[in-house]
Amino acid sequence: MTSPFDFSLSRRRLLTAMGAGTALATTFPAFGLAAPTKKIVVIGGGMAGATVAKYLRLWSNKTVDVTIVEPSTTYVSNIMSNLVVTGQYLPSLLNYNWSKLATNYGVKIVKGSVTGVSANGSGWNVNVAGLATPLSCDRVVVAPGISFDTVLDNIAQPTAVLHAWQAGPQTTQLRDLLFALPPTGTFIMSIPPAPYRCPPGPYERACVIADYLKRNKPGARIVVLDANPDVMAEPANFKNAFSTLYGNNLTYLAGRKIKFITAGTANYSGTVTVDIVGTGFTENHAGDLLNIIPAQRAGLIAQSMGLCDDTGFAPVNGVSFESTIKPGIHVIGDAAKTSLPKAGHVGNQGAKICADAILRLFANQQPYATPTANSACYSPLSNTLASWLTAVYQYERQPDSSWKYVARDQISTQTGPTEAHGASTGNFTKMSTWYKTLMTETFA
């Protein structure tokens, strides 16, 4: 079995990791394209979009034409951004760009926001703000990440929330306000109902903020209001950290769904009113700094293209990530509705499955029927300790004949991801290597 810490670079290795085995990997026919060259436009150059663009070029021997449309000049990584919030990492450690995808693989980069996609014969026209002529292509890959719900309980929020759940200016703003928190202040963070981006991410943030407060403001505390019934990822390690490392300054409350927020006088201070799920009661929590992470949906362009169902995410066929609503368009990364977690490493893996499927479809073959993705994720629990979570996701037929990705423990083969047996300083060191490797694998 492929190690979850092993970032496969070649299509042959991916096929092997997918369970295809050596025989298939070595006998798979060379990919040959009929003229004219096929064109693909990728909407969004984040973790998923950058990966699919790279691997479409790499695995087609640069015979397919791939364009990423992306409005930003710098990609700011969400991964590791919690350590920027606590001041341990410099913001520049989150910055990536697409120049190596252009020089190493010939991926074309168009700066701009996609405003819409329309059918053009058997292909598509992709409209980009500021471009007079749409980009035409054979297939579109939509990878816009997430958008945030702007209302709570049908009440417009009194003030824009500071979520810092899309790394960028809000990340450093949250850091600066954390540094300015009164010595006996209360930091409140909320966790939205699943599915949301990065299942362990909010618990990781709660831990590193509690650690920051413990070391720098011992009279201050953090209150975590979780809309979910329990810790959603790595429960043993996070609950252990909550009770042993942060028993004195962290209060974790599950089943607390935000009803509304009453703004306070200071920036992003106020009172959060929550429903205690299943009881009919509400609670008020006053905080000097509110870090509200709203519920999430697919990026707006996926919604406006009509790719999403009533969950707000885009249903796809798991073998190709092709939309089940609009064939010919693929949706990858956090915007897609699958049983995979919404995470950067998984986005990278799903993008490779999608790239492989598109190349097979161009060669008049079927996508590989039972792909496998893997995921590894380190979580800092303090400024020196980290744990990890890993899983192999196998695309499996279910008893009701549907198909989905099922997480398998790599040792016991039981369902569910595997978490580290405790946090360690060694994991904290390896986390840095893991991060750099994943980002290099995606952007270079």
Ligand X SMILES: Cc1cc2nc3c(=O)[nH]c(=O)nc-3n(C[C@H](O)[C@H](O)[C@H](O)COP(=O)(O)OP(=O)(O)OC[C@H]3O[C@@H](n4cnc5c(N)ncnc54)[C@H](O)[C@@H]3O)c2cc1C
Of the pair 15, 68, the CB lying nearest ligand X is at 68
What is the closest distance, in whole angstroms, from the C-beta atom of residue 276 to ligand X in the complex? 26
Structure tokens at 108: 């074309």
Complete DSSP assignment for 376-420: EEEEESSSS-EEEEEEEEEEEE-TTS-EEEEEE-TTT--BS-EE-
What is the closest distance, in whole angstroms, from the C-beta atom of residue 228 to ligand X in the complex? 16
CB 291 within 8 A of CB 164: yes
What is the closest distance, in whole angstroms, from the C-beta atom of residue 437 to ligand X in the complex? 12
CB 136 within 8 A of CB 123: yes
Of the pair 20, 294, the CB lying nearest ligand X is at 294
Distance CA 216, CA 208 (A): 12
What is the closest distance, in whole angstroms, from the C-beta atom of residue 183 to ligand X in the complex? 26
What is the closest distance, in whole angstroms, from the C-beta atom of residue 428 to ligand X in the complex? 13
User: What CA dihedral angle connects 207, 209, 214 and 216, to 10 degrees?
Assistant: 160
CB 353 within 8 A of CB 373: yes
Instruction: Name the closest residue to ligand X (Cβ).
Output: 46
Of the pair 70, 356, the CB lying nearest ligand X is at 70
User: What CA dihedral angle connects 359, 365, 367 and 370, to 10 degrees?
Assistant: -140
Structure tokens at 66: 């791939």
CB 235 within 8 A of CB 389: no
What is the closest distance, in whole angstroms, from the C-beta atom of residue 116 to ligand X in the complex? 9
Of the pair 145, 371, the CB lying nearest ligand X is at 145
Distance CA 44, CA 129 (A): 14
**Counting beta carbons within 10 angstroms of the beta carbon of residue 345, is it exposed (0 to 12), middle (13 to 18) or buried (19 or more)?**
buried
CB 299 within 8 A of CB 347: no
Of the pair 49, 367, the CB lying nearest ligand X is at 49
Give the residue among 198, 190, 183, 173 at the shortest CA–CA distance from 80.
Answer: 198
What is the closest distance, in whole angstroms, from the C-beta atom of residue 377 to ligand X in the complex? 4
What is the closest distance, in whole angstroms, from the C-beta atom of residue 343 to ligand X in the complex? 4
Which residue in the block uniquely carries the two structure tokens 């509200």? Answer: 292
Q: Residues interacting with ligand X, by CB under 6 A?
A: 43-49, 69-72, 75, 78-79, 81-82, 113-114, 143-145, 165, 197-198, 201, 299, 301, 333-335, 342-345, 347, 377
Sign, Cα dihedral of 312, 230, 205, 280: positive
What is the closest distance, in whole angstroms, from the C-beta atom of residue 274 to ligand X in the complex? 22
Distance CA 224, CA 205 (A): 10
At 299, the amino acid letter reads G
